[in-house]
Structure 1
Amino acid sequence: MEKTIILSCILLVLSSCASTALSKSYWKSSTYKAVKLHKTNLRFFIHDILSGSNPSAVRIAGPPGQNNPIGFGSVYAIDDVLTEGPEITSAVVGNAQGMYLSSSQGQIPSLVLYVDLAFTTGKFNGSSLSVFSRNPITENPREMAVVGGRGRFRRAQGTVFVKTYFLNNTNGDAILEYDVEVVHP
C-alpha cells in the first residue's frame, strides 16, 4: 500500500513536470507606450419625451396598473434627441439610446441609467460616450459616470453633470442639460 502511494506521488510529480515542459504559452507582452490624454468638455440638451404619438422614451416593463411614470420597477427604452440648445428646434448634435430603470422604493426617486450618447455632427461625428450610473433625478445638479466610448472617445472616462432644465410632472416629459467632462486618448 505504501509503495503504491509513493509510486503514485512520483508519477504525479513527473507528469506535471512533463506537461509544463511541453505546454506552449499563448500570451504576449509588450512595452507600455505612454498615450497623450485629451480633456474634452461638451454641453448639450437631451429631450426625453414620454407623451404624445411619437415618444422618445417608451415603458417596456414595470408593475401593472401603475400610473406614476417613474414608479419603482418601471423600465424605459429611450432614443432621445441631443440638441445644442434647450429648444427642440435647436441644431441636432446626436441621439441618446439606451434604457433607464426606476430603482428607488423610497421618497426620493432615482433611476439607473445606461445610455450611449452618439454624436452625428461636428468633430465627434461617429463617436459616442457610454454612461452607466445612478441618476438621483431630484438632485439638481447631479452627476453620473462616463464609463467608456467609441470612436474618438474610445477608453473615455469622466463625469456628466446633469441639470433638469424642464420637467412636466404630469406626463414625465423632460429636457435635461448635460455638461460632460471626459478624458480620452
Structure 2
Amino acid sequence: MVSGKEKLTKLHFFLNDILSGKKPSAVLVAKPNTTTDDSPTPFGSVYVVDDPLTDRPGGNVVGNAQGLYMSSGQDVLSLVLVMDFGFTSGEYNGSSISVLSRNPITETKRELAVVGGRGVFRMARGFAKLKTYYLNTTTGDAIIEYKVYVLHY
C-alpha cells in the first residue's frame, strides 16, 4: 500500500562503463555470427553490466547499475538498456530505480525512461537525461553523466 504525497527527487551521478582491462564492468555475453562490424558494440551484441556509479568522474562510488544492454541499431549506434540503478551510500542507500529504454548513444541529447524502483523509490516513474562525459571509441569505455527526475511516494 502506498501512502503519502508524491514527491519529485532529482539525482545526479556518473555511470562508469568499462569494457577493457583486467576487470571490466561490462562483458559481452552474446554476439551474432553475422556481424562483421569491428566497433566495441556491433549490432546484435548483448552485454551484462555491473557498472559503478560515482558522484563525479573519478569520484566516490555511490552505487552500481546492474543489468544488460544490447546493441539494437543497424544504421545508428543505439542500445536498449534494462538496468537497476542501486544506491549503496547516502540518503538513498538500499533504494534503486529501474530503467527500460532505448539509448541512441550518438545523439547529444537523449533520455531514458524510469519505469520503477524499490525502497525510497517504490512505484517510481520519470526520466533520465544523459550526456557522454568520456568515450574511448577504440575500447568502448565510457563515463556517462545522468540527471534523473523521479516521481515517487
Question: What's the TM-score bracket when you normalise by the shorter of the two chains?
Answer: over 0.9
Q: Please, what TM-score do these two structures have when normalized by structure 1?
A: 0.78
Q: Please, what TM-score do these two structures have when normalized by structure 2?
A: 0.94
Measure, in 2, the Cα distance between the counterparts of 1:83 and 1:105.
31
Structure 2: 5+ residue stretches without partners: none
The answer for the alignment partner of 2:93 in structure 1 is 125
The answer for the alignment partner of 2:41 in structure 1 is 70
Q: Which has the higher strand share?
A: 2
Are residues 1:37 and 2:6 paired?
yes
The answer for the alignment partner of 1:9 in structure 2 is none
The answer to whether the 8 A contact 2:40-2:137 is kept is no
The answer for the alignment partner of 2:134 in structure 1 is 166
Measure, in 2, the Cα distance between the counterparts of 1:154 and 1:73.
32
The answer to whether the 8 A contact 1:47-1:82 is kept is yes
Count residues in correspondence: 151
- 1:6-155 matches, cutoff 5 A: 35-64=4-33, 66=36, 67-87=38-58, 90-106=59-75, 108-155=76-123
| Residues 115-164 of structure 1: per-residue CA shift (max 9 Å, x gap) | 10000011110000000000000112210000000000000000000000
Percentage of identical aligned residues: 58
**Larger radius of gyration, structure 1 or 2?**
1
Which of the pair has the greater relative contact order for Cα pairs under 8 Å at 6+ separation? 2
After superposition, the Cα gap between the structure-2 partners of 1:172 and 1:124, relative to the gap in structure 1 and judged at 3 Å, is: same
Measure, in 1, the Cα distance between the counterparts of 2:2 and 2:112.
30
Q: Which has the higher helix share?
A: 1
